[in-house]
Structure 1
Amino acid sequence: MKKKLATLLLFIGIVQQVTATNYYIRIDGDDSNTGLSNTPEGAWRSINTALYGYANWGG
């Protein structure tokens, strides 16, 4: 039983690492951007977009 649990936890950890996405917030960003790039043209401007917008997009 312990071996199965350890295998399951390892699998969950690997899946989480594979599906991780970085989102960027910058003072010179724009909330209409995707948030996927650490540039003014790609980053969000506000933390609210990261917190509330991402939740509304089904992330």
Structure 2
Amino acid sequence: MIWVDYAIFAIVGISTVFGLMRGFVKETMSLVVWIGAFFISSLFYQYLATFLTFISEP
């Protein structure tokens, strides 16, 4: 296996441990919030980009 596989296994393992410690409902709500934040930011990033025109690319 390559390092990407080990990284994915580590992330899943760490998430499992945190999920067991925090509880199923809290972990599920956290996941829903992250997915919602990604969805909303993907919808409205263009509106924010108009306010950030002063930032130039390096």
- Fold shared by both chains (TM-score > 0.5): no
Higher relative contact order (CA 8 A, sep 6+): 1
Structure with the largest fraction of helix: 2
User: Which of 1 and 2 has greater Rg?
Assistant: 2
TM-score, structure 1 normalization? 0.38
TM-score, structure 2 normalization? 0.38
